[in-house]
Amino acid sequence: MSIVTKKAWTTTHRQWRRACLARLRDRRWTALAGIVFCSLQACSEPSDGTSPHGAVDASPDGAADGWVESGGGDVAADIHADVSAEAGVDAADSGVDALPDNVTDALDEEAVSEASTDGNAEASAFETIELIRDYRFLQGFKTYPATPTMTPTGALIPPTATTPPIWGLAEWYTTHLLPQGPPTMTALGAQWENATKRVIIRDGFLELAVNADAEYGGVYRQPGQNWPHLLIQQDIFDMANPQANSPIHRFQSVTLELDVELVYAHHVKEAGYDPALHACQYLMYLTLQNRNVNHPDYGNYIWFGLTFYDDRFVTLPESIAYDVGTGKYMFQMASSAFMPASLHDQPKASIHVELLPYLMASVQDAIDKGILHSSDLEDYYLGGMNMGFEVPGRSVATVRVMDFHLRGVRPTNESTP
């Protein structure tokens, strides 16, 4: 964990927070009904429309198959591809209403407290912490089998590793698991590869590649059929040291930073293609979880998502739906809220986004809807995260992530009461 001490929150930042909250109060969020392509149980404990676009082919020669080592790309953000009645999602859910006052109060408690003191605000101190461990990808991955489980069965260990891996690599519902053992060393880094997937890591660099067309044997996925995943995941909540964690509402800021590049993407769209069933997505999910062991709803959680790329949509609105795999509430940020431009339009994006107002609003909405059963914001923590590919379509794609950080700012010496 990296910590940098800060002096008191500035007036400018307090004004920024209030502006964010005011903006959220004034907005109405829309729901997008349909399938939510996600089945990873990323949390550590009790666990756990369609205007299709043409294929994105950023390779220099326009090749439709195989792996491409470099090129253009695209990692757009928006929704977790919620389409069709296959999942039976409640289309009547109209989304998050105005941000409740108690969320505003919880988020702005620190600023109000500072304003009420006799000029001693500068005596307060804050710290910035890295919420993601091994964000430089130095220690490799625990690996999981094709059938979803959180029990690792192997590991991919690079030469840079000095400790057991923190990250997990999930290859749910794939036909060919990546080979175990030492990596092949390439100009890009440590590489593990087979006929349908590739992983490359080096300091601060991650490349994931999938060939779902080969996974499906050149045949389109049918309704009800599972789809291949290639996801990295880890716990955020520190199980070994619970007192080191802070409830979400105590943070002053939670920021996501990363550079993302769609190196290559080709999508087979011929007879049999259905955008309600077939897609290629690169996404990230956080879980927001009740960690109060004394509450009956302990372990219950919701998903909070950002989709960096969906081959069917250039941009996607905010939405709420329910995960096909876990049945859990899922909030999706609009891509315009965190993507400077769609990866359909340019190959790379540098993302820097403040997540805290959205995290708090999604928790409160789930409480208001009776999905989370504790109204005490002290009970809710970041539980875990996953990031990578889910590919229900016949797609071949490569995405790179660099300089990945999820940082929280909280009062110094903050701990759970």
Range of the domain at 155: 3-411
pLDDT (mean) for 188-214:
98
Rounded to whole angstroms, the Cα distance separating 267 from 65 reads 10
Number of domains, the chain: 1
Tell me whether residue 318 is in a domain: yes
Q: Is the pLDDT of residue 417 over 70?
A: no
Tell me whether residue 232 is in a domain: yes
**Between 59 and 125, whose confidence is greater?**
125
Rounded to whole angstroms, the Cα distance separating 252 from 128 reads 10
Tell me whether residue 417 is in a domain: no
DSSP structural state of residue 78 = B
Other Cβ atoms closer than 10 A to 223 = 11
Tell me whether residue 8 is in a domain: yes
Tell me whether residue 31 is in a domain: yes
**Between 315 and 92, whose confidence is greater?**
315
Q: Is the pLDDT of residue 168 over 90?
A: yes
Q: Is the pLDDT of residue 121 over 90?
A: no
Q: Is the pLDDT of residue 321 over 60?
A: yes
- Give the pLDDT score at 276: 96
Q: Is the pLDDT of residue 102 over 70?
A: no
**Between 327 and 71, whose confidence is greater?**
327
Mean pLDDT of the residues in the chain: 78
- Give the pLDDT score at 194: 97
Tell me whether residue 416 is in a domain: no
- Give the pLDDT score at 21: 45
Burial of 119 (0-12, 13-18, 19+ CB in 10 A): exposed
Rounded to whole angstroms, the Cα distance separating 112 from 142 reads 44
* 262-274 pLDDT tens trace: 999 999 999 999 9
pLDDT (mean) for 203-229:
97
pLDDT bucket at 324, cuts 50 / 70 / 90: confident
**Between 294 and 74, whose confidence is greater?**
294
**Between 27 and 281, whose confidence is greater?**
281
Tell me whether residue 122 is in a domain: yes
pLDDT (mean) for 330-337:
97
Rounded to whole angstroms, the Cα distance separating 240 from 44 reads 12
Rounded to whole angstroms, the Cα distance separating 268 from 277 reads 13
Please list the residues that pair with 320 across neighbouring strands.
Answer: 331
Place of tokens 């927070």: 17
- Give the pLDDT score at 124: 59
Which of 43-52, 133-142, 388-397 has the weakest average pLDDT?
43-52
- Give the pLDDT score at 177: 95
% of the chain exceeding 90 in pLDDT: 64
- Give the pLDDT score at 414: 64
Rounded to whole angstroms, the Cα distance separating 110 from 273 reads 52
Q: Is the pLDDT of residue 72 over 90?
A: no
Please list the residues that pair with 286 across neighbouring strands.
Answer: 304, 385
Tell me whether residue 329 is in a domain: yes
- Give the pLDDT score at 120: 46
**Between 114 and 252, whose confidence is greater?**
252
